[in-house]
Amino acid sequence: MNRRMLLGALAAATIAAAPLPLAAQETVKIGLIIPLTGPFTTTGKQLEAAARLYMQQNGTTVAGKKIELIVRDDAGRAENTARIATELLTNDKVHFLAGFGLTPLAMATAPIATNAKVPMVVMMAGTSIITERSPYIVRTSFTLGQSAVIMADWAAQNKIKTVVTLVTDYAPGHDAETSFVGQFEKQGGKVTEKIRVPIQNPDFAPFLQRVLDAKPDALYVFTPSGVGAILMKQFVERGLDKSGIRLIGPGDITDDDVLNGFGDAAIGVVTAHNYSTDHPSAKNKEYVAAFRKANNFRPNFASVGAYDGMHLIYEALKKTQGKTDGDALLTAMKGHKWESPRGPISIDPETRDIVQTIYMRKVEKKNGELYNVEFASFPDVKDPVKAAKK
Ligand code: PHB
């Protein structure tokens, strides 16, 4: 063997003996499970657009690891969400589960996250109990109770004495109803009727007729994002907008994504919520401009849940120096505080739930577009349902 051949053989041996680049292990995978078909498609689109915007703005390398986002559509059906979560864990070996456009989808996945010891970032669903279903869950969205108690206080202080509640008949609707009624009655208000409407193919018209006949000072409504448009259309068709009965509720009913389509009938609707496209901070103005540039729709409250969820994942990885151990990531996430486009937020280290400002807003027209314009703010609101259990 001549010298050249010997060197060549040595080089080949060195290459063979050197550790492989192990590209697969250097990638941190985030499985984003969201409704991209079916009645909650708008929510899924908001969540995906915001997650992608975050990655575009902050790069795809964190603590030396490459970040890969795997997006899967569950069509808003819990059996799909659970199956996809299992597939993502077994086949794709994801390090994070994220998304969850509706409460039942998060509930179905909770035990899967617990078994796998993988962080599960809830970016949209809003029922209080969700975070108690797994020690691996953190929430970057909201709870319905957070806005319901603020709304109840405002109603009691603003000459609203009688209210009918109308909520979609599933867990977040029940939370909204319980929190609103409890707080409003504590302040001396009276809830004359509590109506629940099915989540599948909702028809509000017969219920709205009942409300029109009962003539309460206000109608408090919760419907999940994507359904509010049907409610608003029927509210106007039945003439409730001209009846003197005020429409109030969480911001899900005046969702920024579809608000413009409601027309001027929506002007004056008062809601309590955690995010408005119109939030006047520099951070939000920058966010809205970037989001609008990348998409042909404006960001709503679902979007900030995903944007902030991605931020939490990135920051947790920085704190663990790229380690993907689930327990270490949860420790890194607990107590984390930052400025979101919605304002200052943090993850409660005890409950892993979000702590945030709740704003009172009124629909107004600005430059030809409808916005939820904030007029009062209540900082550091924790989930009141959990607080009451203590
Ligand atoms: C939920 O299912 O938890 C949910 C969905 C949409 C909303 C609010 C809550 O707008």
Give the count of beta carbons closer than 10 Å to the beta carbon of residue 255.
28
And the tokens for 330? 């949860």
pLDDT at 6 (0 to 100): 53
Alpha-carbon distance of 128 to 142, in angstroms, equals: 9
- What type of residue is 322? G
CA of 21 to the centre of ligand 1 (A): 43
Q: What does the DSSP 8-state code read for residue 340?
A: E
Q: Residue 172: which residues within 8 A CB-CB, separation 6 or more? A: 103, 125, 126, 127, 144, 222, 224
CA of 132 to the centre of ligand 1 (A): 17
CA of 110 to the centre of ligand 1 (A): 16
Helices vs strands, H then E, count in the chain: 12, 15
Nearest CA owner, ligand 1 atom 3? 125
**Which stretches of the chain score pLDDT less than 70?**
1-25
Q: How far is CA 15 from CA 2, 18, 23, 26, in A?
A: 20, 5, 16, 19
And the tokens for 161? 């004495």
CA of 170 to the centre of ligand 1 (A): 10
**Is the CB of residue 225 below 6 angstroms from any atom belonging to ligand 1?**
yes
Q: Which helix (H) or strand (E) holds 130?
A: none
Q: How far is CA 257 from CA 32, 37, 85, 371, in A?
A: 21, 17, 28, 10
- What type of residue is 355? V
Alpha-carbon distance of 343 to 304, in angstroms, equals: 10
Quickly list H helices, 117-169.
144-157
pLDDT at 356 (0 to 100): 98
List, in sequence order, every residue forming a beta bridge with 218; answer none if it has no partner: 163, 246
**Mapping DSSP to helix (H, G, I), strand (E, B) and coil, where does residue 10 land?**
helix
Mutate to test the pocket of ligand 1, among 33, 102, 259 (most ligand atoms within 8 A of CB): 102
pLDDT at 23 (0 to 100): 45
Residue 105 alpha carbon, nearest atom of ligand 1 = 2
List, in sequence order, every residue forming a beta bridge with 246; answer none if it has no partner: 218
pLDDT at 202 (0 to 100): 83
**Is the CB of residue 103 below 6 angstroms from any atom belonging to ligand 1?**
yes
CA of 225 to the centre of ligand 1 (A): 6
**Is the CB of residue 102 below 6 angstroms from any atom belonging to ligand 1?**
yes
Residue 102 alpha carbon, nearest atom of ligand 1 = 2
**Is the CB of residue 130 below 6 angstroms from any atom belonging to ligand 1?**
no
Alpha-carbon distance of 297 to 123, in angstroms, equals: 19
Q: What count of residues does the chain have?
A: 390
Q: What does the DSSP 8-state code read for residue 92?
A: I
- As a whole number, the mean pLDDT across the chain is 93
**Is the CB of residue 300 below 6 angstroms from any atom belonging to ligand 1?**
no
Answer yes or no: are the C-beta atoms of 211 and 155 closer than 8 Å: no
Nearest CA owner, ligand 1 atom 6? 224
User: Does pTM surpass 0.85?
Assistant: yes
Mutate to test the pocket of ligand 1, among 225, 372, 383 (most ligand atoms within 8 A of CB): 225
Q: What share of the chain is helix, strand, coil (3-state, %, to 5)?
A: 45, 25, 30
Q: Residue 357: which residues within 8 A CB-CB, separation 6 or more? A: 274, 342, 343, 344, 345, 377, 378, 379, 380, 381
CA of 103 to the centre of ligand 1 (A): 6
pLDDT at 380 (0 to 100): 98
